[in-house]
């Protein structure tokens, strides 16, 4: 599993670096994020959810039935959109109410 960070979109806020539980993300000399150890990413998706500009894509590999798809998230208040981009250009969005999903 791994992520891809679009340096053109990155605004250097450092939130992805701060939230990654494996300390896998760093900022370069231009304050743009990059993943130092892509093979160590275990796909917790925390960095996706923190990025304010949707600069991070998570690869959905064949082991997850993704076959080359990529995923990112968009926060809309209490709602969180999981947006999946397919290799053929198709897009699917799954919206989760975070207040409901965090109920125990
Ligand atoms: S998905 Fe999780 S483990 Fe992987 S880089 Fe992002 S925060 Fe780190
Ligand atoms: S959270 Fe997004 S904008 Fe902020 S440093 Fe990471 S990739 Fe860049």
> Could you read off the pLDDT tens digit of each residue along the chain, which spans 104 residues?
689 999 999 999 999 999 999 999 999 999 999 999 999 999 999 999 999 999 999 998 776 666 789 999 999 999 999 999 999 999 999 999 988 876 66
What domains, with CATH codes, occur in the chain? Answer: 3-101 (3.30.70.20)
Confirm or reject: Cβ of 50 under 6 Å from ligand 2. yes
Do 31 and 91 meet the contact criterion of CB atoms below 8 Å apart? Answer: no
State whether the beta carbon of 56 lies less than 6 angstroms from ligand 2. yes
Hey, is 98 helix, strand or coil?
helix
d(CA 56, CA 51): 7
Q: What is the pTM of this model?
A: 0.90
H or E element that contains 44: none
């Amino acid at each position: 599993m791994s992520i891809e960070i679009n340096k053109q979109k990155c605004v250097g806020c450092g939130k992805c670096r701060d939230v990654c539980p494996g300390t896998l993300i760093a900022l370069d000399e231009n304050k743009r994020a990059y993943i130092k150890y892509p093979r160590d990413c275990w796909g917790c998706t925390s960095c996706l959810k923190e990025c304010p500009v949707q600069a991070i894509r998570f690869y959905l590999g064949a082991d997850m039935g993704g076959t080359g798809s990529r995923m990112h998230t968009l926060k809309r208040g209490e709602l969180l959109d999981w947006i999946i981009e397919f290799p053929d250009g198709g897009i699917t969005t799954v919206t989760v109410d975070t207040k409901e999903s965090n109920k125990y």
